[in-house]
Amino acid sequence: MEGAGASGLSEENAFAARLFNGLPDRYDLLAEVLSLGQNRRWRHQLVERIAAAAPKRVLDVATGTAGVAIALARRTNAEITGVDLSAAMLEQGRERVLGAGVDDRIRLDQGRAEQLPYDDGSFDAVAFTYLLRYVPDPAAALAELARVLRIGGVLAGLDFAVPSHPFWCAVWWAYTRLGLPLAGALLGGRAWYDVGRFLGPNISNYGKEWPVVRLREAWRAAGLVEVEARSMSLGGGLLMWGRRGA
Ligand SMILES: C[S@@+](CC[C@H](N)C(=O)[O-])C[C@H]1O[C@@H](n2cnc3c(N)ncnc32)[C@H](O)[C@@H]1O
């Protein structure tokens, strides 16, 4: 596999696995607190996009501790499959799925977004959250997500973004460079301090390299049509969705 080591993992995969294997215990609480409550709102928008298509089979990629998968199970009647690179995040996810009483409708698999272990067109809808910043080639990952989506099915993805208004961009910069590492350290210890330090520059670099206009092109090149993007929370979040064309 190009760009991947003997383990089958790329450098980016190995980095993500190391980063997230240390986080699952407090992930759900800290994801809400450190996003200042925005994660829940954004996730709700993503789930509504998927639910509107009344899917029967849904894939949630980079499912982590299965928060999106559980929300999808509550909001739809679909059978949900969650897939993630990190065994530790999935373990926590399985506990959460059991606790939520939706284990009969959610299955969690370990796997890479770049090489999904599913047949072409297996799903009516595919969701992904906070994924593309962790893959070596976001355009190739999008093409792989589109591959497992049936023709006419919905793809919806969510990620952090950098506000474009100079004032809000300055506030965002101060929060991500100072507030986030400090709050991470106080609430979650060393592992969350490291995440806090990593996230701001990671989101900034990704935003520079993959502005919305380039992301739209990548979605279209992956075979998606009717591609839409919605900026949320003063530009701090970005939701994109589209349908797989014929
Ligand atoms: C910030 S967490 C988001 C988890 C979940 N989507 C949520 O919103 O709570 C990012 C997740 O992406 C997973 N991940 C990173 N790179 C991946 C890849 N190449 N394939 C599958 N999962 C990946 C990580 O293991 C981690 O669980």
User: Which residues contact residue 18 at a Cβ distance below 8 angstroms, ignoring those fewer than 6 apart?
Assistant: none
Q: Tokens 């997230």 map to which residue?
A: 20
Instruction: Decide: helix, strand or coil at residue 74.
Output: helix
Q: CB of 16 closer than 6 A to ligand 1? A: yes
Taking 70 as the pLDDT cut, the residues of the chain under it are 1-7
Question: Given this model, what pLDDT does residue 7 score?
Answer: 63
Q: CB of 89 closer than 6 A to ligand 1? A: yes
Q: Which helix (H) or strand (E) holds 136?
A: none
Identify the residue whose C-alpha is closest to ligand 1 atom 8.
129
Question: Given this model, what pLDDT does residue 236 score?
Answer: 94
Q: CB of 160 closer than 6 A to ligand 1? A: no
Question: Atom of ligand 1 at shortest distance to CA of 67?
Answer: 9
Question: Given this model, what pLDDT does residue 33 score?
Answer: 76
Q: CB of 62 closer than 6 A to ligand 1? A: yes
What sign results for the dihedral spanned by CA atoms 149, 208, 217, 137? negative
Separation of CA 166 and ligand 1 centre (Å): 30
Which residues on adjacent β-strands are paired with residue 229? 240
Report the C-alpha gap between 31 and 214 in whole angstroms.
Answer: 27
Q: Delineate the domains of the chain, giving CATH numbers in brackets.
A: 11-161+210-244 (3.40.50.150)
- Per-residue pLDDT tens for 50-67? 999 999 999 999 999 999
Question: Given this model, what pLDDT does residue 65 score?
Answer: 95
Identify the residue whose C-alpha is closest to ligand 1 atom 11.
62
Tokens of 44: 């709700």
Question: Given this model, what pLDDT does residue 223 score?
Answer: 98
Question: Given this model, what pLDDT does residue 2 score?
Answer: 35
Report the C-alpha gap between 171 and 142 in whole angstroms.
Answer: 31
Report the C-alpha gap between 96 and 206 in whole angstroms.
Answer: 30
Identify the residue whose C-alpha is closest to ligand 1 atom 17.
85
Identify the residue whose C-alpha is closest to ligand 1 atom 27.
64
Report the C-alpha gap between 211 and 217 in whole angstroms.
Answer: 10
Q: CB of 13 closer than 6 A to ligand 1? A: yes
Listing DSSP states for 142-167 in one string gives HHHHHHTEEEEEEEEEEEE---SSHH
Q: Tokens 């240390």 map to which residue?
A: 22
Contacts 24+ apart (CB under 8 A), 6-9: 8/112, 9/85, 9/112
Q: Which helix (H) or strand (E) holds 130?
A: none
Nearest in space to 223 (alpha carbons), one of 144, 160, 110, 115: 144
User: Which residues contact residue 67 at a Cβ distance below 8 angstroms, ignoring those fewer than 6 apart?
Assistant: 28, 31, 43, 96
Q: Are 35 and 228 in contact (CB under 8 A)?
A: no
What are the strands of the beta sheet with 149-160, ordered from one edge? 106-110, 79-84, 57-61, 123-129, 149-160, 237-244, 224-232
Q: CB of 145 closer than 6 A to ligand 1? A: no
Separation of CA 208 and ligand 1 centre (Å): 21
